[in-house]
A and B are shown apart, each in its own frame.
Chain A
Amino acid sequence: MLIKWMVAGLMILAWVASQPVAVTAIPAKPFILPFADPPGPATWYLGQLYGNTTGAYAQRDTIYRAGQGLHFGLDFAAPCGTPLVALGNGTVAKVDAPEHGSLPHNLMLRLDAGYAALYGHLLERSKLSVGERVTRGQVVGLSGDSFGTCRSAPHLHLEIRSADYLVAYNPVTLIEADWDSLALIGSFQRGFERDLSNPRKWQYPDDQPKTQFGGALLNNFEQPWPPKWERRR
């Protein structure tokens, strides 16, 4: 009888041990998407992913040079004027800080979870003030266009950085969302640049290197694919 109870007890312990451990600290993905409305053809959809994208590779020597040749944020296509919400609780750190790019207007939030969030290409200067508290889901600005026209490339460029702004992280790993579903749209040309000497490297949305601003190019591949068709000068 005693052995039977021991067996049962050990089985219960084994079952408990096999269950996922409840996380009481900061969740692995502490942030929400920057939109209050659901994605759709009239609202917003995922544009360019973070990391070693083919688009960033093609411009690795120009606009993405400071970010080691990577696309150091996420692009969400959205009509100009789309309300943008705070990813999490935090404080307004900077309003229109040109040193961080993504003009014509940008906004930097210092998030309580220990990161900073840059909202880029905003339609207008955010009405928030430096030092003002924001709560998760609160509208913090309106989306704009990187060329300022609202017809060229209306989108939000969103970065999640270290608190000192020197490192950019992959938002896919920090924002709770159905990324598989979001990635369905616009996938015709979506993909990551290959290095044919190691073509499996950095090929998934959540498997991308962090960006050290000012660091060396990470994707100066000897055997890139697709190649860049250079213009003859």
Chain B
Amino acid sequence: MNTCTLDFKGQDLRGLAIVILLAWLLAACAQVDPVPIGTATPTQMPTATATLEPSPTPPPTSTPPPELRQLTGGGCCVQPSWSPDSRQVLFIDKPSESAPAGIYAVDVITGAIELPQWSGRVGVYSRDRSLIAYPENSTTVVERLSTGDKWTLSNVGPVVFSPDSQRLAWTDEPDNTSPYDQRRSDVYVANVNGTEAARIARVYGGGLVGWLPGGKIVLSGRPSLDVRERTLTVLDLTTRASVSLVTAERISGVSASKDGTWIAYYITFDQSRSGIWMQRANGSPARKIEMWGAYQWRDDARLLVIPMRPPGDAAFEVWEIDAASGASRKLTDAATTPLRILNGDWRVSPDGRYIVYVSSVDRNLWRLTLPGGSG
């Protein structure tokens, strides 16, 4: 709320103009600020505990408090991502009729917005931004941006670059009319120039999930139509060794930590198994998280969870789970950090210091500085 005070002690009568001014001031005082502008800092932050209950322990003095900062204006934009150095938030936009469409970047410190030289074209970029892939005439064109070299692949689905930008993978689904759980998916891997393309797996009701560092990929699906449940599998492309992580009828939301050590996923509609799980990619026993919500990896060892909120709660909270121990701690408090996220649209920065999200209040991009960041 605005802070307004009115002084009635004076005896001076200033006529109708004063009356109208006072009335206007009071009406303004009664309005609620529509948008949190600038920064908002909570006054208290609990630290790590081994349970889901928040700890009353004050934070270490070196830990920055959660801070909110508006990055964009005018109701812009959605589906943000991060530059590899965590200094910029990237988003697709065309800020005016005469401006080009492209992947724009806002500096998370200064707020300056630019259209980087590499980003004038929208496409699938490799992690190091050296390559772009896009569809063209029922093929995929891969282009090296520095030289303009192009290669054409005859694949039929979105490609996923490997973390080292040397290879790519895709799923081919020849029949997309049969029931989802029965559709055959062939997973292919090739060099970025299209050479050495080979089918490395066939599953039903699933496909490629993504890459892990070190030449490994993650697959999900039924090994055959005779098997009811899907299996989440890590496949080493060099040794051809595979590790089965979990088997369930409905596995979704598979997400790997940056170094590929940990995998998190949902199991749904499976009675007591239903929930969020995390597990080492080497197949060690899985751990269930006693929260239900959205999650993303903060770094190689910590998972961030934003639980669904009880009815009537105004803001979301961010929790952090230590993957090895399962210990959890609340990083933000709904009472002091007005974190309002629209359409589940949030992303953790590569260095784990920030979350960028689309505000459901003003539909702009906001930055949340997380306590306990590595940077």
Q: Is B127 an interface residue (CB 8 A)?
A: no
If A185-B308, A187-B343, A225-B92 touch, whether A18 touches B249 (CB-CB below 8 Å) is: no
A166 contact set on B, CB distance < 8 A: none
Q: Is A29 an interface residue (CB 8 A)?
A: no
Q: Is A113 an interface residue (CB 8 A)?
A: no
CA distance A20 to B149 in the complex (A): 61
CB distance from A80 to the nearest CB of B (A): 9
> Contact at B135–A229, with CB atoms within 8 Å?
yes
> Contact at A205–B26, with CB atoms within 8 Å?
no
If A7-B22, A15-B30, A232-B154 touch, whether A41 touches B275 (CB-CB below 8 Å) is: yes
> Contact at B101–A42, with CB atoms within 8 Å?
no
> Contact at A196–B122, with CB atoms within 8 Å?
yes
If A42-B270, A147-B180, A227-B135 touch, whether A186 touches B92 (CB-CB below 8 Å) is: no
- Interface size range of chain B in the complex: 35 or more
The number of chain A residues with a CB under 8 A from chain B is 59
If A14-B27, A196-B101 touch, whether A40 touches B135 (CB-CB below 8 Å) is: no
B156 contact set on A, CB distance < 8 A: 229-232
> Contact at A45–B27, with CB atoms within 8 Å?
no
A197 contact set on B, CB distance < 8 A: 94, 101
A17 contact set on B, CB distance < 8 A: 27
CB distance from A223 to the nearest CB of B (A): 7
B93 contact set on A, CB distance < 8 A: 199-200
Q: Which residue of chain A has the shortest Cβ distance to B180 in the bound complex?
A: A152
The B306-338 residues at the A interface (CB cut-off 8 A) are 306, 308-309, 311, 316
Q: Which residues of B contact A (CB under 8 A)?
A: 8, 13, 18-20, 22-24, 26-27, 30-31, 75-79, 92-94, 101, 122, 134-135, 138-140, 154-158, 179-182, 205, 228, 249, 252-253, 255, 266-271, 274-276, 292-294, 306, 308-309, 311, 316, 340-345, 360, 363
Known: A11-B23, A152-B179. 8 other contacts (CB 8 A): A7-B18, A15-B30, A39-B308, A41-B267, A152-B182, A192-B78, A197-B101, A231-B138
Closest 7 CB pairs between A and B? Answer: A187-B344, A41-B274, A152-B179, A147-B179, A18-B30, A14-B23, A42-B274
